[in-house]
Homo-oligomer: A and B are copies of this chain.
């Protein structure tokens, strides 16, 4: 008899079993050299929680735990580990142990693990794999990175659209090599081209003599192996798909299911958010200090160059500043307002492009709207700042000068913040790389130039 009460307890507490107290217990067991106790704790976890535990432990303790788990290391942990941590664990376990684990994974997970390895390591591990797994993984690797081909599962059920429900059920009962769990049956025409899908529920509820094409979903989306995973994810989200067939040269070669898409969506969002901030994708909590430093360095360097340009613009007005030091005091206000407004506009535009809401057909309308917003907020902030400056420095004209600079800068921010990502996109670049660097340098430079230039001609 099954113990039906076990779930009552475990689900009352935290979301997962990996609580902070749990991590603390593992840490202290390792501290006290009780590796037996640590192993038992670790083994009580689901593999996804165990992967999270390994990510959470410090470097030395992680190595201790991996070593202790060496012989019983669940291959599924690899698929769940963060790349940086995974690489370290792979080095620690050694090629032959890793090859054993990879052989046990599903093909799409195995590709996920193998594709991140250096070429040398990849070849060694592939060489230690059973012939069959090796061929499937190599085929997967032959498709471009981030393509549907890399993402798809090779285990699926596809039958002729002319089969009956009864025939299909008998086929599934007799077949030995079915996927563990599956939800749709794919129908092919005589040339192995997918023509529809039948959700399993419809099979169960239909009579044995019903033909599959009578109950199939006709409006399926067929995905070419080479399609970029971002486009695949868009299709799944837009059409609320559960699964889709993948074709290579018109022949059904695999399927993608929505649970694979969840990870893709995460990856793509991460890419966007990191690019907007000017951080490399490989820059995460687990990367070594030196790698993080390098990933940040190049972006800081670009910002330095743009700051130098802004400094040069200021230097053109050195004499003006010397005569009226209030200008130096007020410069950061002009820069901050322009920079903030441009990043706001940029973020909305980048997100809209990613969601395919912003397209060439409404680009002009969007840019026009952003300019209008710039004008309106420009007028309001010009009044606020102008009044503050007038009160602070007792000069109405200085208030007018900074007000005009703010208006110009917010209009520029609206225009550049919306048009730059659109232009980048139409040139085939990722609009997120536009990022703050270019934008804030443009608003800084124009802002300083207008502010100091107006001051030089109106105030002195």
Chain A interface residues toward B at CB < 8 A: 2, 4-8, 11, 15-16, 20, 23-24, 27, 46, 48-49, 52, 55-56, 58, 80, 82, 161, 169, 172-173, 178-179, 181-183, 189, 193-195, 199-205, 213, 218-222, 227, 231, 234-242, 250, 258-259, 261-263, 265-266, 269-270, 272-274, 276-279, 283-286, 289-290, 292-293, 296-297, 299-300, 303-304, 306-308, 310-311, 314-315, 318, 321-322, 325-333, 335-337, 340-341, 343-344, 346-348, 351-352, 356-362, 365-366, 369, 372-373, 376-377, 380-381, 384-385, 388, 436-437, 440, 444, 448
Instruction: Indicate which residue in B262, B284, B331 contacts A262 across the interface (CB closer than 8 Å).
Output: B262
Query: Across the interface, which residues of B come within 8 angstroms of A82, CB to CB?
Result: 357
A265–B325 alpha-carbon span in the complex (Å): 50
Q: List 30 A-B contacts (CB under 8 A).
A: A16-B238, A48-B239, A52-B238, A82-B357, A181-B202, A183-B201, A183-B242, A237-B262, A262-B262, A269-B273, A273-B276, A273-B351, A277-B347, A292-B373, A296-B377, A299-B344, A300-B341, A300-B381, A304-B333, A306-B336, A307-B332, A307-B335, A308-B333, A310-B332, A310-B333, A311-B332, A314-B328, A321-B328, A336-B440, A343-B436
A232–B265 alpha-carbon span in the complex (Å): 16
The answer on a CB contact under 8 Å between A161 and B357 is no
Query: Across the interface, which residues of B come within 8 angstroms of A327, CB to CB?
Result: 328
Query: Across the interface, which residues of B come within 8 angstroms of A259, CB to CB?
Result: 240-242, 258
A227–B14 alpha-carbon span in the complex (Å): 11
A35–B335 alpha-carbon span in the complex (Å): 50
Query: Across the interface, which residues of B come within 8 angstroms of A369, CB to CB?
Result: 289, 292
The answer on a CB contact under 8 Å between A263 and B237 is yes
Query: Across the interface, which residues of B come within 8 angstroms of A234, CB to CB?
Result: 15
Extra contacts, 16 of them, besides A7-B194, A56-B361, A178-B205 (Cβ < 8 A), are A2-B161, A15-B234, A56-B359, A183-B242, A240-B259, A261-B262, A265-B266, A269-B273, A285-B362, A286-B357, A300-B337, A307-B336, A307-B337, A308-B333, A332-B448, A343-B436
For A224, the closest partner residue in chain B by CB is: B11
The answer on a CB contact under 8 Å between A348 and B285 is yes
Mostly helix, strand, loop or mixed at chain A's interface? Answer: helix
The answer on a CB contact under 8 Å between B262 and A236 is yes
The answer on a CB contact under 8 Å between A222 and B284 is no
The answer on a CB contact under 8 Å between A181 and B201 is yes
The answer on a CB contact under 8 Å between B201 and A285 is no
Known: A285-B362, A329-B318, A340-B278. A204 touches B300 (CB 8 A): no
Query: Across the interface, which residues of B come within 8 angstroms of A23, CB to CB?
Result: 359, 361
The answer on a CB contact under 8 Å between B328 and A296 is no
The answer on a CB contact under 8 Å between A46 and B357 is no
A202–B200 alpha-carbon span in the complex (Å): 10
A242–B279 alpha-carbon span in the complex (Å): 33
A358–B285 alpha-carbon span in the complex (Å): 7
Instruction: Indicate which residue in B8, B193, B381 contacts A304 across the interface (CB closer than 8 Å).
Output: B381
